[in-house]
Chain A
Amino acid sequence: MIMQNPVLLIAVPLLLAFLIPVFSSFFKGAVRFIPVLAGGFNVIATALLISRASGSVTVTEIGGWASAYGISLLFSSQIGYVILAVNLTALLAIFYYTLNERDLGSPLAYPIAFTLALSGANGMIMTGDLFNLFVFMEMTAIAGYIIAVHKKGYLGTFRFVVLSSVGSALFLMATAALYNATGFLNMTLAGKSLGALAAPFISIISVLFIMALSSEAELLPLNGWVAPVYKESSGAGSVFFASVFSGAALFAVIKVMLIVFGNNYAYVHQGLLVLGLVTLAAGEAAAFKQSNLKKMVAYSSIAQSGLIIAAVAAAMRSGVLHNGLFSAALFQLINNILAKALVLLGIALLGLATLKEIGGAGTRKKWLGVFISAGVLSLIGMPGFAGFWSKLFLVRELVGSGMFVFTLVFLLAALFEAYYYLRFLQSLFLGKSTTAASLPKTSWVTTILLFVLAALIILIGFAPDVIIRAISGLSLGGVL
């Protein structure tokens, strides 16, 4: 049945994005409703696909072309949950934009950018072809350039453009080299034929891939753009960066690592492990000193990306995928996507920028304060919220595998993260604001949006069963 084809998750938003300028010339409302339509369709389609999916990966060959000649999409219930989280937060961000932020300059650019980004993110997560991944990366990056320019974020966006272009160039080089050497663009097939190649060649290719994907996945060394872009972008825009882009890009990195370099390339994963841990430590260290809220969340996002990549690399270190650690890392990814979206939307609704300005705002807008607290406490890993379980499982798997240095770095980073987030909550509820600005009014629809996210986080916190069962026990069987 047509609804069983995951390509719709990519194709429908893409089509709708191109229809926006067409419709807008005779129906002004189109600009408002089409992105919402795209997001809503994606969420519902993902839910339907998950309900029909199984734990093992199904490969959909587009157009009927066999994998070696065409593009294939990968889908499973585990991948489906990541897509669901990404699409859900994208939908909420689009809703938020539609309700609150339509004064962002060009009325056409942002809806198109959001919808394109949605399509590209879904593509990045699902595609099984390297060049296709490049195409979707470029698509999301370009959409990201548009989203990053809010009212005055030109310089930050310019830096983002440069770094992203460097990443793209490296990725293209690596893909071309791999294609030339193996004759395949398909990830699985290329990965299987790597064995015939010389080891130095493989190491160079792997380094190029890692560097290339580090730009959008917010990893060192190409993540210098993150903080200023988050700071200057709009509420919906920052949610797109934190949840949609970084989630999709992280999953793309994971996919490339697992499928292309999955068979016994310990040094690749070892290098990525170290890179991830350094990113984690550097991100938390930088976040600690921030007084601008969005930059604080930006560096925290960088650190969490590093953590997730390090955990996946650790899962692959011994050559065979360590299921427990891998599922814990994916659970952490999903929790981060949800919690970051909640926190960023909440901060955007407050309309205030720094710790000092935010003093006491949580007492003036109680519900907003509660929702932001739910997101923050989940990020810190407090029980009653989703983040607790993912942190717990990560520690369990790490200690169980004997990775004590990783555990130490992780817990130290979590310690400092708890400190500055708790400091944020303190300011939110108990400070005295230095500005006398009155807080913008929040419509009840927006409140419902935040409520949905917060309820989801608390629900997973109290009953993590459903997600855990769906996420764990996955094997990329049939593809690895």
Chain B
Amino acid sequence: MSTLIFIGLAASLLIYAAARLSRPLGALLLMLLSGAGVAALILSWGKGFTETLPLGNGLELTFSLSTFNWPFLLLGAFVLFIVSLFAVNALKEMEQGASFLALLTLIGVSVLGVFGAYDFLTLFIFFELMTWTSFFLVSMGKTGAKKAALIYAFMSMIAAYLMISAIMMIAKYTGSFSYSDFMGMYEAMPSGIRTTVIIFFLAAALIKGGIYPVHFWLRSAHGDAPHVFSPVLSGLLVKYGYYSAYLFLLFFPVMVATKAGITQVTSTNGPNFILAFIGGLSIMAGTVAAILQSDAKKLVAFSSVSHGGYVILALAYGTNMAVAGGLAHIWVHVLTALGMFLSMAAVAYRTGTTDMDEMGGLIKNMPVTFTVYLIAIISVAGIPPLAGFVSKWMIIQALAANGSYILAFMAFFGSIGSFMYVFRPLATIFLGQRPHKFKDVKEVPFFMQLSMLVVTLLTILLGIMPYYLLKPFTRIQEFIGMEPVRIGFSTVYSALTQLDMMLVFLVFGGSFLLALFIFLLFAKPTKVEQHEVYTSGEIAPEISTTPEIYHFSKGYYRSFGRLFSRWPSVEAWYHKGASYISQFFEIIEQSLFKQSINGFIWLAVLVMAVLMAVRWF
């Protein structure tokens, strides 16, 4: 794998040069590279290897491909493949498209290193590579992107430094950085140190995964990043947080622990319950905040917060059904994040905006984009027969079967609340009345459609045949010694009941066909002018409409917003804290570095006196 990393590094230069000649060429090269990665990973299903790259002086980097990280590596390659396919057309107007593609290749390299690492030093090195490359990529967006990128980098560096402290503590007690030594010495480490290490890593995972309350960087970072980069940010980089949580909540402890009682509920274990509760809070906070957004991408960003909550809730809960559901939900979220962000990017490509209040009626112009978005949101809301339903079903099964009603309520809240927020872009962007300025908007070019349709197809297929979604994760469960969830080709068996997705799909499909049949044969629709549908010809000046506009998408959920207007906002706290720190720094500069000779001499005398006095007394 180290050769792959060097190839990736060289490829980034090559892709930069190619993209300077012609943007689509550079994107195609990246697509071929990541497509080759996807193919290679699928072909090496079931195989594994470990590889060491010595750096001299006792330092070495260890890489590994094995059951436990195969799904994540595949996820990385897949996201890059889809996004670079999309980017073949989408980067035309971007100012620094060549640097964008080169940095994206470097992100691919860093993801390879992060997910493929088998020791903590490698993990950290590639995590930092990921941080600074993604910092530049986020900065390339529209106005406000630079501030967003700085907040994102700041939070990522906090996560990085938490990790490096924990890693060095591990190195001190086990004498090396590798995962296997850590697992070997896991029981022997002093429990205080072990707890600190786990807390630091989990805190870093929460920050990077965008979980409440350290989620506030997500909104501006996803919202203001370049449209082509937001899918990568949400679909891939945030997954590092989930991967880290997976390692420390699941992989390490269970590999080490005895095999007795694996299906027992672990949520009664205090710390795990706290973490699960944080996940639940994140679900609810993300859902509510998403409902209040009026920018499409920021709305989807909060949806990521909410889904991160599902993953953390499930992984912290610990029963085999919950774990399998949580891990599967990672993949489901990848698909839905790609679907939603790519369709928003497609809309922005043609209309130049993501502000939902400005748009409407684009279903007539962009039917493919509409379909992609529709399938994505059906999956997000957890509606059968798509993939989102499978993972959410499993999580809620696990919660309900073990009697955790509060957490189950939080999970339901997320599902139901998501109906509200996913519907808004659908209604405000695609349905309703189309503004005049968007009359001639066309559907997006071929490659962009292709990439979106691949995602849609996968969402549908994995929903009908959840075997392909769940098999990698049940194999992980076997690998680490947990009892795997029983799955059939399209069936999932839980302790209470079973779910047959093929049956669900047939029922849904059959009902849809029946309804279509009835509609085509018997219903005689009457065409009406659009304004007649909305206001029966009445003008509503208090909502500042003009006679032509009857599509009320401004203030869509205003009454809902009033319900939550006085709730605390973590983002506001962060900004207040930042301004306090800023003022404090100003005071330091004024007092210690003021430019006057008297001041300097007094300072020198003061320091001398303090130093001597400390010794004397």
Chain A residues within 8 Å of B, Cβ to Cβ: 159, 162-163, 166, 200, 203-204, 207-208, 210-211, 220-222, 224, 227-228, 267, 271, 275, 281-282, 285-286, 288-289, 299, 363, 377, 380-384, 388, 392, 395-396, 398-400, 407, 411, 414-415, 418-419, 422-423, 425-426, 429-431, 463-465, 468-469
Q: In the assembly, what is the distance between CA of A267 and CA of B616, in Å?
A: 11
| Chain A residue with Cβ nearest B614 | A271
**Can you identify 26 A-B contacts, CB atoms within 8 angstroms?**
A159-B600, A200-B616, A203-B612, A211-B608, A220-B607, A227-B593, A228-B595, A282-B592, A285-B584, A285-B585, A288-B582, A380-B132, A383-B128, A395-B168, A396-B171, A407-B165, A415-B154, A415-B161, A419-B154, A425-B136, A426-B149, A429-B96, A429-B136, A429-B139, A463-B56, A465-B55
Question: Is A221 a contact of B607 with CB atoms below 8 Å?
Answer: yes
A sample of 13 more A-B contacts (CB under 8 A), given A208-B608, A221-B600, A423-B150, is: A210-B611, A267-B614, A282-B588, A289-B589, A382-B129, A388-B125, A407-B165, A411-B161, A422-B132, A430-B96, A430-B140, A430-B146, A463-B56
Question: Is A468 a contact of B57 with CB atoms below 8 Å?
Answer: yes
Q: In the assembly, what is the distance between CA of A289 and CA of B592, in Å?
A: 14
- Let me know if B153 is at the binding interface, CB within 8 A: yes
Q: Which 9 A-B pairs have the closest CB atoms?
A: A465-B56, A399-B168, A285-B585, A286-B589, A203-B615, A221-B607, A383-B125, A411-B161, A285-B588
Q: In the assembly, what is the distance between CA of A237 and CA of B159, in Å?
A: 38
| Chain B residue with Cβ nearest A384 | B129
Known: A204-B612, A289-B582. A275 touches B153 (CB 8 A): no
Cβ contacts under 8 Å, B584 to chain A? 285
Contact partner of B150 (CB less than 8 A), chosen from A377, A426, A465, is A426
- Let me know if B172 is at the binding interface, CB within 8 A: yes
Q: In the assembly, what is the distance between CA of A107 and CA of B99, in Å?
A: 43
Cβ contacts under 8 Å, B129 to chain A? 382-384
Contact partner of A422 (CB less than 8 A), chosen from B126, B135, B161, B171, is B135
Cβ contacts under 8 Å, B171 to chain A? 396, 399-400
Nearest CB on A from B519, distance (A): 52
- Let me know if B158 is at the binding interface, CB within 8 A: yes
Q: In the assembly, what is the distance between CA of A285 and CA of B593, in Å?
A: 11
- Let me know if B10 is at the binding interface, CB within 8 A: no
Q: In the assembly, what is the distance between CA of A271 and CA of B610, in Å?
A: 10
Known: A396-B171, A463-B55. A286 touches B615 (CB 8 A): no
Known: A267-B615, A419-B150. A426 touches B139 (CB 8 A): yes
Q: In the assembly, what is the distance between CA of A267 and CA of B595, in Å?
A: 31
User: Most chain-A Cβ atoms within 10 A of its Cβ — which of B150, B168, B169?
Assistant: B168
Cβ contacts under 8 Å, B139 to chain A? 426, 429-430
Q: In the assembly, what is the distance between CA of A464 and CA of B164, in Å?
A: 19
| Chain A residue with Cβ nearest B599 | A224
- Let me know if B260 is at the binding interface, CB within 8 A: no
Q: In the assembly, what is the distance between CA of A447 and CA of B128, in Å?
A: 28
Q: In the assembly, what is the distance between CA of A392 and CA of B589, in Å?
A: 29
Cβ contacts under 8 Å, B592 to chain A? 220, 224, 282, 286
Question: Is B588 a contact of A464 with CB atoms below 8 Å?
Answer: no
Q: In the assembly, what is the distance between CA of A426 and CA of B56, in Å?
A: 34
- Let me know if B549 is at the binding interface, CB within 8 A: no
Cβ contacts under 8 Å, A431 to chain B? 146
Known: A275-B607, A430-B139. A422 touches B150 (CB 8 A): yes
| Chain B residue with Cβ nearest A210 | B611
| Chain A residue with Cβ nearest B587 | A285
- Let me know if B604 is at the binding interface, CB within 8 A: yes
In the complex, per-residue mask of B52-92: 1 if CB is within 8 Å of any chain A CB, else 0 = 00011100000000000000000000000000000000000
Nearest CB on B from A380, distance (A): 8
- Let me know if B32 is at the binding interface, CB within 8 A: no
Cβ contacts under 8 Å, B135 to chain A? 422
Q: In the assembly, what is the distance between CA of A47 and CA of B96, in Å?
A: 42
- Let me know if B7 is at the binding interface, CB within 8 A: no
Q: In the assembly, what is the distance between CA of A275 and CA of B597, in Å?
A: 21
Q: In the assembly, what is the distance between CA of A395 and CA of B162, in Å?
A: 11
Q: How many residues of B contact A (CB 8 A)?
A: 53
- Let me know if B185 is at the binding interface, CB within 8 A: no
| Chain A residue with Cβ nearest B131 | A382
- Let me know if B586 is at the binding interface, CB within 8 A: yes
Nearest CB on A from B585, distance (A): 4
Q: In the assembly, what is the distance between CA of A363 and CA of B136, in Å?
A: 13
B110-163 CB contacts (< 8 Å) to partner A: 125-126, 128-129, 131-132, 135-136, 139-140, 146, 149-150, 153-154, 157-158, 161
Cβ contacts under 8 Å, B588 to chain A? 281-282, 285-286
Cβ contacts under 8 Å, B416 to chain A? none
Nearest CB on B from A168, distance (A): 13
- Let me know if B603 is at the binding interface, CB within 8 A: yes
Contact partner of A224 (CB less than 8 A), chosen from B55, B57, B593, is B593
B527-541 CB contacts (< 8 Å) to partner A: none
Q: In the assembly, what is the distance between CA of A414 and CA of B607, in Å?
A: 25
Q: In the assembly, what is the distance between CA of A229 and CA of B161, in Å?
A: 33
User: Most chain-B Cβ atoms within 10 A of its Cβ — which of A200, A299, A382?
Assistant: A382
Nearest CB on A from B196, distance (A): 10
Question: Is B172 a contact of A422 with CB atoms below 8 Å?
Answer: no
Contact partner of A271 (CB less than 8 A), chosen from B146, B586, B611, is B611
Cβ contacts under 8 Å, B597 to chain A? 159, 162
In the complex, per-residue mask of B570-610: 1 if CB is within 8 Å of any chain A CB, else 0 = 00000000000010111011001111010111011011100
| Chain A residue with Cβ nearest B153 | A422
Q: In the assembly, what is the distance between CA of A207 and CA of B96, in Å?
A: 54
Question: Is B168 a contact of A396 with CB atoms below 8 Å?
Answer: yes
| Chain A residue with Cβ nearest B170 | A399
Cβ contacts under 8 Å, B140 to chain A? 430
Question: Is B607 a contact of A289 with CB atoms below 8 Å?
Answer: no
Question: Is A221 a contact of B165 with CB atoms below 8 Å?
Answer: no
Known: A383-B128, A395-B165. A221 touches B595 (CB 8 A): no
Question: Is B164 a contact of A395 with CB atoms below 8 Å?
Answer: yes
Contact partner of A207 (CB less than 8 A), chosen from B132, B157, B585, B612, is B612
Question: Is B595 a contact of A286 with CB atoms below 8 Å?
Answer: no
Q: In the assembly, what is the distance between CA of A343 and CA of B614, in Å?
A: 39
Question: Is A414 a contact of B161 with CB atoms below 8 Å?
Answer: yes
| Chain A residue with Cβ nearest B600 | A224
Question: Is A399 a contact of B56 with CB atoms below 8 Å?
Answer: no
Q: In the assembly, what is the distance between CA of A384 and CA of B171, in Å?
A: 22
Question: Is B612 a contact of A221 with CB atoms below 8 Å?
Answer: no
Nearest CB on B from A281, distance (A): 8
Cβ contacts under 8 Å, B161 to chain A? 411, 414-415
Cβ contacts under 8 Å, A228 to chain B? 595
Cβ contacts under 8 Å, A222 to chain B? 600, 604
B306-320 CB contacts (< 8 Å) to partner A: none
Question: Is B165 a contact of A418 with CB atoms below 8 Å?
Answer: no
Cβ contacts under 8 Å, A423 to chain B? 150
| Chain B residue with Cβ nearest A215 | B604
